[in-house]
Each structure stands twice: as C-alpha cells, then as structure tokens.
C-alpha cells in the first residue's frame, strides 16, 4: 500500500539508531558503579517505580484483595506479540473478540471493554466519545509487564472499573546503554521493524522505542472457496515512545513521557448478519504526554502523582460501493482526555496502612459529521476520591475496607450524578505458599458521551450503570502454581438503545444482568518444560430480555505448552478453545448461534551468542474457520519469521 503516515518511519528509526549509538559511545555513562549499589537500586525499583500504580508481590501473601493476573516480560517475549490483544488472550478469565470496525475488544469474565479501564503506565487510554478502546492500537513493542485485575478491585482507581482494570507497564531504562533491533516478515507482505534503546547518566535516564508495522491484509479460510483475501484488511502503523527520568534521590523519581501512535487501516465489511459497510480510516492517530512520579512522605509513606493529556484525531471515510471508489462522506473526531491523579500510601503503624486517591479527568469531543460542515463540541468532567484501610490483625489475617465517591459533571442539560462505591474483604495467609481471600465491592460506570450527547440517539439524563461483585479466591505456590476463584456479579441500569414508535432509537437505562462463574489457572515449570492452563466457566444472562449475553461462551480454555529441548531453543504451542455462544441481532430480533472454536498457534525460537534470536510462527495451524462476532472471521493459517539483535546490552 502507499504510505500516508506523516513522519517517514524509516528516517525516524534510522535517526533513533544513530542517537542510540552516540549514547553507547559516550564516556560519561554510569558503568563504574559497584555491584552492591546496583543490587540496592534494583531492589528499590522492584517496589517503587512511577509506572506501577498497583504494587503486586510475587508471593501469595502479597496478592491484592482481587484476582490479579500478571504477565511479565519473559512471557511476553516468547509470545512474539504484535499488539496487546496477542498478550491478553492468554489471561485467565479473558476473551478477545474481533469484529465490527476491525476492532479487537476485550472481555473480562464476560464484561466488555466499555466497562473496563485500560491504563498505560497508569494513564487512562480510551476513546472519550465512545468510552472504549481497541487493543490493536496498543503496540506490544516496549511492553514490560501487564497486570489484569478482576473482581472487587480497589476503590482507588476511579469510576468505570465495573468490569476490571488493565495496567500496561512499559519498559524502563537500563543502567548500561542498550540497543535492540527487531524485524519480521510474513504472509501478504506483513512486516515490522522495531527499535528499543535506553541509557542512564548520573541522576538521569532515557528510554526510546519505535515500531513500524505494515500489511497488505490477511486471508481467511472461506468454507466454500478456500483461502480468500479479506477485502480492505490492510493496515499501516507507527508507534513512537520516549521517557525521560530524573532521580534526585533514592526516595524520589520524576518522569516525563511522550508518545505518538499513527495508523491507517481498512475495516472489512461483514460477510453476513448485518448490512455491509465500506469504511476506512485514512487517519487514526493518538498522541500522549504525561509527567509525574513518586516521592517519599517520610518513613514508608509514599505519594504517586501524574498529570496527563491524550489526544485522538480520527478521520473516517464512508464509501457507497464495495470497490470504495465513490466517497459518500468523511467524518472527523478530534477528541481529548486530560487530568491528573494522586495516590498516597500512609502507614500508620506496623499493622495498618491507609491508602488514598484523588483523580480528575476532563473528556472533550469535537465532531465534524462531514467535510465542510460545522463542528459540534461536548465535554464532561469526572472526579473521584477514594480511601482504603489495610489492617493486619495478625501475620496471617488482614482486613481491608474502602470507599470511593465518584462524581460526573455532565455537559448541559444533563443532570450530574454521584456514586458511592464500597469495598470490604478479608485475607487469610496460613503459610507463605498459601493465601485465601473473600471480598465484596460495588462498582459503577458513567454513561459514555455518545450515549448522552449523540444528536440522533443521546439521552443526557442517563444514570450510571452499577454492579456488585463477590469473590472467593485462593492461591497456592507449591510444586504446582494454582490459583482459582469463584465469583458472583449482579448489574443494573445497563445502558442500551431502544427503538421508539417513530422508528428512531434512543439510549435508556433498561438492562439487568448477572454473571456468575469460576476460573482456575495451573502452572508448572521445569528446566525443559513449561505448562500453563487456564479454564473459565460463566453462567451469564441478560435478565431483562431473558437471553444469554452476546458473544460469551460458557466454557473458555487457553493453554501454553513450551518445550526447551536444548540451550537457547524453545518450541511453544498456544491454544484457545471457546464453546458455543450467542449473538442478539437487533435488526431481526433473533438470537444467532456462534459455533464453538479451537485455534492453535506454534512458535519456535532460537537464541544464540547471548545477543541474537530468530523465530518462526505458524498461526492458526489447522486453518480453522471461526468467528467470535458474526460476519467477521479470524485470520486463517499464516507464516511469520523474525529476528531480534541486542546490539548493545
């Protein structure tokens, strides 16, 4: 395809490469520090880093009062992911769906992306008008750790965590100068080129990464015609990110972070179920800027703080014909989110810690329905204050209680809403290897700006969606690592469109639903073998309409089996299995069946000389035809090869 991204990605990557080599040759680098100083600094980083707003320990005793699944850098590396969707689909309780608008959406325990908070280094990332996110827009390049919180999560992270919380933690600078280059090539001229570099000097540190991706599209296994190119499935993406740190002392860190994501992509039309739409994004861009850090408040008390600004500029072309030669209209969104947060940990004794938060966000949407038309602007603000108390009765028993006050300042003429959300739970850790917790929380989710202010269907008087979550969970880190939870969720005031007598639609609070179930994860690691299996069972229903929730199998299983037959050599098999699910077609008022599916990927990698790695991926090994949303089949069998070189380390 013809490149249309504004910066030249090749020039940018070459420029970063030259910059990195210059850093590597600088004589003033901090290479003369003693080993014990390095060890001490690394220990401090493990506990205190700016990006990690939820500190999760490795042992069962350190598990928070919720189910938290953590994917570390070594596990991410072996997946060879393209974007965040490739990482999250192997999390217990998660499901990735692919569908309308070429969107990769996340469900956690059956709850969709518009009710889940996505944070990158603690900063909220979501399209503010639609109040949701697309996983493919979060590049896997530069990701260090992913934390996924399900169940009764902390009250400290604001509203809109009804379904859970995902925090993506990006890589931090290394003490020695580093430079890594990577590249891959696959079917349909699908290619990527990446660069990661960092260095430290005295009290400063710098990290930068770039990733360019391009593809002519993908094939799917058409049941009638075999391998068929999916029309309008091409894409081009550029992701740039840089972080600058200043550490005036071991107790304080300041970080400034800037990022740019630019993309152009097509949206394949539905093959069946809904009317085909011929859409394309010639421009889908996101830019971010944030600054903050942490500091000591004396003793073990700490304060984490951040200010942030995220801007989205998206242009959508609507075509009238399948060949996409007749442009019907061109809509543009210039939307932004800005605000800040402060999180404080305040120990009040050996057995008690108080945690507090204050979060403010402003959402602004500017919309032009077609080129040449006037712009419409709407905005709203949200404010959240949270307080938690963690009290250790003994070394084995801990009680946690919290309360948040969440407020939305609506765009006139809507009536403002306030929600009060409590959390209470008990943790019991009889041994260092075993933990139990039981917890209960009430959560809320404010209406999206689209549902309130859309000129065709908006309702500014919508109430917040709300739900209650109860969980009992245990973790055992013995010869096997086993974690499991049983959960019960009730929801009310779900927001949906209702067809009015005149044929138009309008948003109302109409829905009630429940999702109950359990999930289990089992892990075993040996010197030559690593096995992980995750199973989730969901009993779910839309109680208002008396039907199952959309696109949500009752049974989900994913697994990872990796074999290391020789030093540096790894072969991994990654499987996804989902049972039959259903989809409500509002156009015909019928419930459609989504067949069960099984998909398997195989990845072989070989690392050598301590600096190089080559890999080969065979995706969808059995070339299975399957879909998770009707009319939008997943990619068929494909081959990809790649290489990574640590030029400096």
The predicted structure's pLDDT at residue 55: 55
pLDDT at residue number 355: 95
How far is it, in rounded angstroms, from Cα 23 to Cα 573? 39
Which CB contacts under 8 angstroms, 24+ apart, belong to 535-543? 535/92, 536/92, 536/93, 536/109, 538/109, 538/110, 539/514, 539/515, 540/110, 540/513, 540/514, 540/515, 540/516, 541/513, 541/514, 542/511, 542/512, 542/513, 543/512, 543/513, 543/514
pLDDT of 625 = 97
Give the integer Cα–Cα distance in Å for 403 and 385.
Answer: 8
Each residue of 301-355: pLDDT tens digit? 999 999 999 999 999 999 999 999 999 999 999 999 999 999 999 999 989 999 9
Per residue in 421-446, is it b (16+ CB within 10 Å) or e — as a string? bebbbebebeeeebbbbbbebbbbbb
Residue 414: predicted pLDDT? 76
53 SS3 class: coil
Distances (CA, A) of 160 to 91, 111, 285, 473, 562: 21, 12, 24, 23, 37
**Per-residue confidence band for 97, with pLDDT thresholds at 50, 70 and 90:** very high
Average pLDDT over residues 135-159: 91
Q: According to the model, what pLDDT value does residue 387 have?
A: 96
Q: Is the pLDDT of residue 28 over 60?
A: no
**pLDDT at 17 (0 to 100):** 43
Preceding omega of 413 cis (within 30 degrees of 0): yes
pLDDT tens-place string over residues 562-605: 999 999 999 999 999 999 999 988 778 889 999 999 999 999 99
Give tens-digit pLDDT for 247-276: 999 899 999 999 999 999 999 999 998 888
The whole-number pLDDT of residue 100 equals 86
Structural domains of the chain in order of their starting residue, each with its CATH number: 9-648 (2.40.170.20)
> What's residue 3's pLDDT?
45
Beta-ladder partners of 383: 360, 407
Give me the pLDDT at residue 26, please.
39
Distance between CA 552 and CA 625 in Å, rounded? 18
User: What local confidence, expressed as pLDDT, does residue 508 receive?
Assistant: 93
CB contact at 8 A, 539 and 517 = yes
Query: Per DSSP, what are the bridge partners of residue 219?
Result: 229
């Amino acid at each position: 395809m013809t490149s249309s991204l504004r910066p030249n990605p090749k020039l940018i990557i070459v420029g970063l490469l030259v910059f990195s080599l210059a850093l590597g040759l600088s004589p003033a680098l901090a290479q003369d520090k003693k080993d014990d100083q390095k060890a001490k600094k690394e220990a401090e980083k493990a506990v205190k880093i700016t990006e990690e707003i939820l500190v999760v320990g490795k042992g069962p005793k350190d598990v928070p009062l919720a189910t938290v699944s953590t994917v570390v850098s070594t596990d991410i590396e072996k997946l060879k992911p393209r974007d965040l969707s490739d990482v999250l689909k192997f999390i217990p309780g998660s499901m990735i769906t692919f569908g309308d608008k070429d969107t990769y959406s996340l469900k956690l325990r059956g709850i969709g992306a518009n009710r889940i908070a996505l944070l990158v280094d603690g900063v909220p990332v979501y399209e503010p008008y639609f109040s949701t996110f697309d996983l493919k827009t979060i590049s896997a390049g530069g990701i260090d750790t992913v934390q996924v919180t399900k169940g009764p999560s902390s009250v400290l992270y604001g509203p809109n965590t009804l379904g859970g919380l995902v925090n993506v933690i990006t890589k931090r600078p290394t003490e020695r100068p580093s430079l890594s280059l990577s590249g891959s090539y696959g079917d349909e001229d699908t290619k990527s080129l990446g660069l990661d570099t960092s260095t430290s000097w005295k009290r400063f540190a710098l990290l930068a990464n770039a990733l360019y991706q391009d593809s002519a599209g993908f094939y799917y296994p058409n049941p009638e015609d075999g391998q068929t190119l999916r029309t309008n499935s091409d894409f081009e993406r550029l992701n740039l990110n840089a972080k600058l740190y200043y550490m005036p002392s071991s107790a304080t860190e300041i970080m400034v972070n800037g990022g740019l994501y630019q993309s152009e992509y097509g949206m394949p039309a539905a093959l069946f179920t809904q009317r085909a739409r011929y859409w394309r994004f010639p421009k889908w861009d996101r830019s971010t800027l944030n600054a903050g850090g942490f500091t000591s408040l004396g003793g073990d008390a700490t304060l984490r703080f951040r200010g942030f600004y995220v801007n989205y500029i998206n242009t959508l072309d609507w075509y009238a014909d399948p060949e996409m030669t007749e442009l019907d209209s061109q809509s543009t969104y210039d939307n932004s989110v800005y605000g800040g947060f402060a999180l404080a940990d305040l120990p009040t004794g050996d057995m008690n810690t108080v945690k507090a938060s204050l979060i403010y966000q402003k959402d602004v949407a500017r919309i032009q329905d077609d080129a040449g038309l006037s712009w419409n602007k709407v905005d709203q603000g949200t404010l959240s204050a949270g307080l938690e108390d963690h009290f250790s009765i003994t070394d084995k028993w801990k009680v946690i209680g919290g309360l948040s006050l969440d407020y939305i300042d609506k765009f006139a003429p809507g009536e403002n809403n306030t929600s009060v959300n409590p959390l209470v739970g008990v943790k019991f850790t009889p041994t260092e290897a075993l933990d139990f917790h039981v917890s209960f929380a009430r959560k809320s989710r404010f209406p999206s700006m689209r549902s309130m202010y859309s000129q065709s269907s908006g309702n500014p008087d919508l109430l917040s969606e709300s739900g209650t979550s109860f969980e009992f969970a245990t973790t055992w880190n013995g010869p096997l690592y086993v974690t499991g939870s049983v959960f019960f969720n009730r929801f009310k005031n779900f927001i949906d469109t209702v067809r009015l007598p005149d044929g138009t639609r309008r948003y109302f609070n109409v829905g009630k639903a429940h999702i109950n179930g359990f999930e289990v994860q089992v892990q075993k690691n040996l010197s030559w073998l690593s096995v992980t299996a995750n199973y989730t069972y969901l009993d779910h229903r839309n109680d208002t309409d008396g039907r199952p929730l959309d696109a949500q199998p009752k049974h989900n299983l994913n697994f990872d089996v990796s074999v290391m037959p020789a030093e540096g050599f790894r072969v991994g098999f990654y499987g996804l299995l989902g049972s039959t699910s259903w989809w409500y077609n509002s156009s015909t008022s019928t419930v459609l069946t989504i067949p069960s599916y099984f998909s398997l990927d195989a990845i072989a990698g070989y690392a050598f000389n301590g600096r190089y790695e080559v890999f080969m991926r065979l995706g969808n090994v059995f070339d299975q035809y399957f879909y998770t949303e009707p009319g939008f089949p997943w990619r068929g069998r494909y081959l990809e090869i790649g290489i990574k070189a640590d030029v400096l380390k």
